Amino acid sequence: MQFLVGSLHFIGCPEEIMKFHKNINNNVVAIAGTWDPVLPRHKALFKKLINYGKRQGLNPYIILFYPNPANFIHENRFKDYFDLDARIELFKYLGINNIIIAEFDPGDLKLGALEFFDNLFKDTCIVLNELWIGENQSFGTGPEGIFSIRTECADRGINLKILKNSFLVNLDKESVYGNFNEGKLEPASAIVGYYPTYKLKVDLQINMHDGIYNAGLRIRPFDKTNEIAVTVKIVNQKIEEIKRPDGYNWLILFERIDTI
């Protein structure tokens, strides 16, 4: 089931959508972002979120913006380190079972905090008690930035926690993407903890840089058991046909060995 309000989709009504949703109650503490890649600092933050939720009697949620809204401004410059499916699997692996996906299109950039919260509460089943955001985070491209989020949270009785030292995450991201964009996936994975990971689609579309890669096929995204080594070619964000046994639905990229 998919909720549509204007051009903004919220996927994540607890009782009906995410099969992995383990709802305790609808009183929620949430943290919002694109989460790509999921960094060690993010993992530590998720752990804090889970523990805080237990202490406060709140259900911990991740709100995930997908695709990256910045790609509508920068012509898809930001490729996926983890695709959407991989991010969801990683959240589950890290103990986060409650996920709302806000699916964006270019028109959503015109929306601000007011529209975001209106759509969220209209089209999901949660009661947002507390929201955690980065100190430079904003909803939409308006000049108000974090100030509009503060205003909306105050008006709606939502406790807002501003996460400090967001620049450290940005420094980590810059280092990862510097290597990632050059095809140096081993040093990027040394920071992230995992190699770029994607669920193979029927049409073999992939939001990744063109090139020829040493790769692996897996049954489960973060389990190397019975991994099969392959070489894949990506052209115009599409994987050339590869032979794979049944059940091998995950692609892990290890190294770009040639450009196209």
Same-domain pairing of 70 and 140: yes
pLDDT at 203: 96
* Mean pLDDT (10-residue bins), the chain, 260 residues: 34 42 70 93 94 94 88 85 95 88 81 86 86 83 70 95 81 92 96 97 96 98 96 97 94 96
Same-domain pairing of 143 and 206: no
Same-domain pairing of 18 and 63: yes
Which domain CATH number covers 147?
3.40.50.620
pLDDT at 49: 96
Same-domain pairing of 11 and 105: yes
Query: What is the count of structural domains for the chain?
Result: 2
Residue pair 250/219 in contact (Cβ under 8 Å)? The answer is yes
Question: Does residue 179 form part of some domain?
Answer: no
Q: Rounded CA gap, 154 and 21, in Å?
A: 28
Question: Does residue 183 form part of some domain?
Answer: no
CA angle at 211 for the pair 224 and 226, rounded to the nearest 5°: 15
Same-domain pairing of 136 and 221: no
Instruction: Identify the domain boundary among 113, 133, 168.
Output: 168
Cβ atoms < 10 Å from Cβ of 73: 11
pLDDT at 212: 98
Question: Does residue 180 form part of some domain?
Answer: no
Same-domain pairing of 137 and 199: no
> pTM value?
0.86
Q: Kindly state the tokens that stand for 80.
A: 């996926």
CA angle at 185 for the pair 42 and 84, rounded to the nearest 5°: 50
Question: Does residue 188 form part of some domain?
Answer: no
Same-domain pairing of 8 and 52: yes
pLDDT at 11: 53
Q: Domain range holding 253? A: 195-258
Question: Does residue 233 form part of some domain?
Answer: yes
